[in-house]
């Protein structure tokens, strides 16, 4: 039992306030929030000196291997508000064959497919739903490409909160089904994720749904931040040289960047940062275009299409936060084609026995491309994010059959 520690006790938390990601304006903690008064994402701030005095690496090492081990840097104040489905730490796997084939740089993959509901969306939504429970929120709504909706449905149902979820009409069947089975009212909409987002915003105005859209709710970032905390702890409190992150709304990239700053402030790491690489699909690459043009905000990408549904986000409200992290880190943004994604997925599955999701495979394809064009060197240790289990996606059929009533040529099998 991983999650039994202090289940009935209250514990101190170090949240002091929330801050507008654009203007820095303070907003009060302990009341529900969506966007800041300036209409931008809110970031949760902590008394990091207080955390520094309380938390040690030794204390942390004794805690259960799950996301709640970082409680001092998380927003949930009361243990009884935690709505858990078992958010275990995810393994960091190496791809030794790929790295020797490509010429030597160490490749590590953080395999987020092991989380509840099969994707790293669980990290964000476990936090958002636990906070919603603390605030007494009764009805949450969300636009989704699939994985976020599944995680919201699961945690909200567990907490007894109603959910209404909208996805683009071509969302994979498995995602729509899991969302429905896990207790949500789910609708396919003839549009893209931002079109679904408009319906949620309208429902919020008309009937008071809580809008759980990416970055329109401040606690999903805090959950996603634990990827950065975990990664650094797993590397013995070191950062890797480069992180390749499949970027849709950018919650994880923004969250990890925040995590590294907080870890430095509490004295757990120094000032070295990984270079953050935002990976997108060439059929939907608004961040790459904005990065290349040197601008702070990204314009909507029209006619978005890619097999990597999780990163099919034509417009992200946290665009400036993504671009800022990428630039401050000395990283870059890069797009890969669906063909390269499919080829990478196939290559890693066949040779390493590791079935990545298309978004995860996009990071591998982007790494290959960056090595080839010299943007990443062979001496650098890289971390790729496999953000969901490959089993959630449509897989190619195998048509080979065997007739057991005929003679079998065993040597040919």
Residue 217 or 359 having the CB closest to ligand PLP:
359
Contact between 311 and ligand PLP by CB under 6 A: the answer reads yes
Residue 190 exposed, middle or buried by CB count within 10 Å (0-12, 13-18, 19+): exposed
Residue 55 or 197 having the CB closest to ligand PLP:
197
What is the closest distance, in whole angstroms, from the C-beta atom of residue 388 to ligand PLP in the complex?
4
Contact between 304 and ligand PLP by CB under 6 A: the answer reads no
* Phi/psi of residue 15, nearest 5 degrees: -65, 130
Gap between the Cα atoms of 339 and 378, Å rounded: 24
Sign of the torsion angle spanned by Cα atoms 63, 69, 70, 72: negative
Choose one: 91-99, 168-176, 249-257, 280-288; the region binding ligand PLP (CB under 6 A).
Answer: 249-257
Residue 72 or 359 having the CB closest to ligand PLP:
359
Composition of the chain by helix, strand, coil, percent to 5: 40, 15, 40
What is the closest distance, in whole angstroms, from the C-beta atom of residue 329 to ligand PLP in the complex?
16
Contact between 388 and ligand PLP by CB under 6 A: the answer reads yes
Binding residue (CB under 6 A) for ligand PLP from 214, 306, 329, 389 = 214
Do 259 and 237 touch, CB atoms closer than 8 A?
no
Strand order from edge to edge, sheet including 139-143: 185-189, 162-168, 139-143, 210-211
What is the closest distance, in whole angstroms, from the C-beta atom of residue 61 to ligand PLP in the complex?
28
Strand order from edge to edge, sheet including 26-27: 26-27, 15-20, 42-46
Choose one: 52-60, 69-77, 200-208, 240-248; the region binding ligand PLP (CB under 6 A).
Answer: 240-248
Rule CB under 6 A: which of 83-142 touch ligand PLP?
A: 119, 121
What is the closest distance, in whole angstroms, from the C-beta atom of residue 53 to ligand PLP in the complex?
32
Strand order from edge to edge, sheet including 92-94: 92-94, 107-111, 382-386, 242-246, 275-281, 332-336
Q: At what angle do helices 338-352 and 358-372 cross, to 10 degrees?
A: 100
Binding residue (CB under 6 A) for ligand PLP from 99, 213, 251, 370 = 251
Tokens linked to 25: 């304006």
What is the closest distance, in whole angstroms, from the C-beta atom of residue 206 to ligand PLP in the complex?
27
Gap between the Cα atoms of 230 and 92, Å rounded: 10
Gap between the Cα atoms of 159 and 127, Å rounded: 12
Gap between the Cα atoms of 269 and 254, Å rounded: 18
Do 395 and 346 touch, CB atoms closer than 8 A?
no
Rule CB under 6 A: which of 252-271 touch ligand PLP?
A: 252
Contact between 387 and ligand PLP by CB under 6 A: the answer reads yes
Do 86 and 2 touch, CB atoms closer than 8 A?
yes
Q: E strands within 89-246?
A: 92-94, 107-111, 139-143, 162-168, 185-189, 210-211, 242-246
Binding residue (CB under 6 A) for ligand PLP from 223, 228, 250, 314 = 250
DSSP class of 90: P
Contact between 246 and ligand PLP by CB under 6 A: the answer reads yes
Gap between the Cα atoms of 317 and 381, Å rounded: 31
Choose one: 22-30, 97-105, 201-209, 245-253; the region binding ligand PLP (CB under 6 A).
Answer: 245-253
Choose one: 130-138, 171-179, 244-252, 368-376; the region binding ligand PLP (CB under 6 A).
Answer: 244-252
Residue 140 or 256 having the CB closest to ligand PLP:
256
Choose one: 81-89, 164-172, 248-256, 284-292; the region binding ligand PLP (CB under 6 A).
Answer: 248-256
Choose one: 2-10, 42-50, 246-254, 264-272; the region binding ligand PLP (CB under 6 A).
Answer: 246-254
Do 45 and 20 touch, CB atoms closer than 8 A?
no
Residue 357 or 371 having the CB closest to ligand PLP:
357
Binding residue (CB under 6 A) for ligand PLP from 357, 361, 366, 371 = 357
What is the closest distance, in whole angstroms, from the C-beta atom of residue 72 to ligand PLP in the complex?
23
Binding residue (CB under 6 A) for ligand PLP from 105, 218, 228, 310 = 310
What is the closest distance, in whole angstroms, from the C-beta atom of residue 147 to ligand PLP in the complex?
3
Contact between 151 and ligand PLP by CB under 6 A: the answer reads no
Residue numbers at the binding site for ligand PLP (CB under 6 A):
119, 121, 147-148, 214, 246-252, 310-311, 357, 359, 387-388
């Amino acid at each position: 039992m991983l999650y039994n520690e202090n289940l009935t006790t209250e514990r101190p938390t170090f949240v002091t306030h929330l801050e507008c990601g654009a203007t820095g304006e303070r907003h009060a903690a302990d009341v529900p929030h969506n966007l800041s008064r300036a209409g931008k994402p809110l970031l949760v701030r902590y008394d990091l000196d207080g955390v520094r005095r309380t938390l040690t690496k030794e204390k942390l090492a004794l805690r259960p291997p799950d996301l709640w081990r970082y409680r001092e840097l998380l927003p949930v104040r009361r243990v009884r508000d935690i709505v858990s489905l078992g958010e275990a730490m995810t393994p960091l796997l190496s791809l030794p064959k790929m790295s020797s084939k490509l010429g030597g740089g160490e490749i590590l993959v953080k395999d987020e497919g092991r989380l509840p509901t099969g994707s790293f969306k669980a990290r964000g939504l476990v936090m958002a739903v636990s906070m919603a429970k603390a605030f007494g929120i009764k009805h949450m709504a969300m636009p989704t490409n699939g994985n976020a909706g599944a995680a919201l449905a699961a945690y909200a149902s567990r907490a007894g909160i109603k959910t209404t979820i909208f996805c683009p009409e071509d969302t994979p069947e498995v995602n729509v089904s899991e969302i429905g089975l896990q207790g949500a009212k789910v609708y396919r909409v003839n549009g893209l994720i931002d079109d679904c987002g408009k319906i949620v915003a309208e429902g919020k105005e008309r009937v008071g749904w809580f809008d759980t859209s990416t970055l329109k709710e401040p606690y999903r970032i805090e959950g996603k931040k634990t990827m950065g905390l975990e990664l650094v702890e797993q590397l013995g409190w070191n950062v890797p040289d480069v992180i390749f992150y499949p970027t849709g709304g950018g919650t994880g990239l923004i969250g990890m960047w925040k995590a590294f700053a907080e870890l430095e402030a509490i004295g757990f790491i120094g000032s070295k940062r990984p270079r953050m690489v935002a990976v997108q699909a060439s059929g939907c690459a608004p961040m790459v275009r904005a990065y290349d043009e040197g601008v702070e905000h990204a314009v909507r990408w029209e006619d978005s299409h890619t097999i990597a549904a999780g990163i099919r986000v034509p417009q992200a409200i946290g665009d400036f936060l993504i671009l800022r992290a990428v630039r401050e880190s000395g990283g870059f943004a890069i797009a890969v084609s669906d063909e390269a994604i499919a080829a990478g997925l196939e290559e890693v599955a066949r040779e390493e026995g590791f079935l990545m999701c298309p978004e995860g495979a996009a990071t591998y394809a982007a790494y290959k491309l960056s090595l080839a064009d010299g943007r990443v060197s062979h001496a650098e240790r890289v971390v790729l994010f496999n953000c969901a289990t490959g089993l959630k996606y449509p897989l190619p059929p195998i048509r080979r059959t065997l007739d057991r009533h005929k003679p079998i040529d065993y040597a040919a099998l």
